[in-house]
Amino acid sequence: MPPLRIAALVSAHSRGSNLQAIIDACKSGLVHGEVELVIGTRVDSPALERAADNGADTPVISPRKFAGDDNAYGEALNKALKSHDIGLICLAGYMRILPLPVVRAYAGRIMNIHPGLLPLFGGKGMFGENVHQAVLDSGMKVSGCTVHFVDENYDTGPIIVQTAVPVLEDDTASTLAARVLIEEHKNYPAAIRLFSEGRLSIEGKRVRVSEEVVRVVG
Ligand code: GRF
């Protein structure tokens, strides 16, 4: 099977740590794939720098340029994605709602990672430390991360993998964020690996994961 052709979408302030975890997983062979394309919203993004250092094509497609015409922005994204023959899109710190033309063209082939246990603590405004502070304020004893398929709303698509971490007595939003981030870096590659192996199927809100096929040679 040819390697999965992966694109990532990042926003201006993305650090690119999840992107790096995906790149590393491709390099180590954990994921049979290649990060071919990383599309930014602004030139000055640390994630774009990381991507370029790793040989990905790194165009900037600024939503501002389309003056509120989300369809036109979406079509521009689709054009870049198609020209690279992309099989999977990974949102990696992409802070906007993905335009409908992209959601439609790549249904079932777009993933996002969220630094909380969806369907709790998701939705508009729930990003970065806001999520972790909301978890602390809620009194929850666990938090975690979620990799999910992307639909037309914020954080509502079918869940692929989740891992929980404890909330500790002396946690602040940033100590909790750091504990969750460690799991993010394992969960995103794990979800992409399942996808690349063709083991995911979507049934309504549920994602079914089929057994690993072990080939016995000899
Ligand atoms: C991560 O916390 C991820 O869960 C969220 O955006 C953040 C991106 O961080 N979607 P990084 O750019 O991958 O370091």
Residue 144 has pLDDT above 70, yes or no: yes
Probe residue for ligand 1, chosen from 17, 110, 135 as the CB with the greatest number of ligand atoms within 8 Å: 17
CB of 186 closer than 6 angstroms to any ligand 1 atom:
no
CB of 185 closer than 6 angstroms to any ligand 1 atom:
no
**Among 19-23, 95-99, 157-161, the least confident range:** 95-99
CB 131 within 8 A of CB 113: no
E strands present in 51-187: 88-91, 110-114, 142-149, 159-166
pLDDT of residue 44: 87
Residue 218 has pLDDT above 70, yes or no: no
- Mean per-residue pLDDT over the chain, rounded: 96
CA-CA distance, 141 to 168, in Å (whole number)?
8
CB count within 10 Å of CB 210 equals: 11
Q: Which residues make Cβ contacts (< 8 Å) with residue 102, sequence separation at least 6?
A: 74, 77, 78, 81, 89, 110
pTM score? 0.95
Burial classification of residue 217, based on how many CB atoms lie within 10 Å of its CB (0-12 exposed, 13-18 middle, 19 or more buried): exposed
Residue 152 has pLDDT above 80, yes or no: yes
CB of 207 closer than 6 angstroms to any ligand 1 atom:
no
Alpha-carbon dihedral sign for residues 212, 199, 110, 106: positive
Probe residue for ligand 1, chosen from 14, 18, 135, 162 as the CB with the greatest number of ligand atoms within 8 Å: 18
